Amino acid sequence: METPIEFAEIEAPDEHARSAAIALHGNLVKPAGSLGRLEDLGVWIAACQGQSPPRPFSRPRVIVFAGDHGIAAKGISAYPPEVTAQLLGTMLTGGAAVNVLAAAAGASVRVVDMAVDTETSAMRAVSEFKVRRGSGSIDVEDALTGDEVLAAVRAGMRIADAEVDGGADLLVAGDLGIGNSTPASVLVAALTGSEPVAVVGRGSGIDDTTWMRKATAVRDALRRARAVLADPLALLRTATGADIAAMAGFLAQAAVRRTPVVLDGLVVTAAALVAEELAPGARRWWVAGQLTGEPAHALALEHLDLGALLDLDVRLGEGTGAVAALPLLAMAARVLAEMTTHEQSGVSGPLTPAPAS
């Protein structure tokens, strides 16, 4: 068993604010329920903030956790492992997809190098929490040592604390790493009781031969993961990497800090499965930004009982799908804060049925 990491008890979002938001929606100048899931989303935001109407988000933050994975050397991706460091460099100069989408959505981006297989000077500014270069090949060995997994989870917790203390009121977790959908698929299979063929998708756009190699890697890693399934930290040590372990700590600690999070795709949602194991109830502080085409992603969302806001087939990672959903959160909050009520506008409400004679 790994040395335990203690998370504070997760408090539920505020029920009084939730009830007030539901009541307010019933008084706005629209038929009840006519804005569909936007109404549910606004109610969730109000509950997370503990006030109705909710306030606009002032500092949405995207945190991208980057890391390489030893399993990538087994030919399970359409891209070579060195692409992780290259993409990280692009992200740091503002040219990646998440940079562009976040700017459009009014969010800022922070990149954290947890385990990228490089030591170039350009990366040192984002390597404060770096645990190691890459990870063990999870089909035959542990991804991390016991000390490394503890360091990674604690780094994620510290990052969440620092962001909330710095004023972030909405968080997005993103991922960057060639081959990272393989450990993510192992986590989903282990925690949902699924078989390898049910969780292995096309990831970066792999062909049939590469898919078969990936399925074999997931099968072999899953055998090792199932042996430690009862211990979330041991599961992270055995089957993930420092980036995914840090994400799990980040997502759990964000819930401790009562800060809402928008989940992205497969890798982040797999980390969320473990975060819920580490800190039961954390999922009440998360919303799923999107549904990807990865079969393991749908399984993970079902396990967490989270419905996705968007289905645009965005499978890039980086937090891009979650960032694409940020305008929906802004709209949902503003509807409650800015629409007028029937009383304020003088618009008649629905007819009251006549009593039965």
Catalogue the active-site residues. 318
Which among 4, 2, 64, 65 has a CA at the least distance from the CA of 241? 65
Beta bridge partners of 308: 288
Distance CA 197, CA 320 (A): 26
Tokens of 211: 């898919």
Q: Residue 54: which of 284, 332, 342 has the closest Cα?
A: 332
Residue 230 DSSP one-character state? T
Residues 6+ apart with CB under 8 A from 83: 178
Per-residue burial over 116-151, b if 16 or more Cβ lie within 10 Å, else e, is: bbbeeeebeebbebbbbebbbbbbeebbbeeebbbb
| Beta bridge pairs of residue 112 | 65
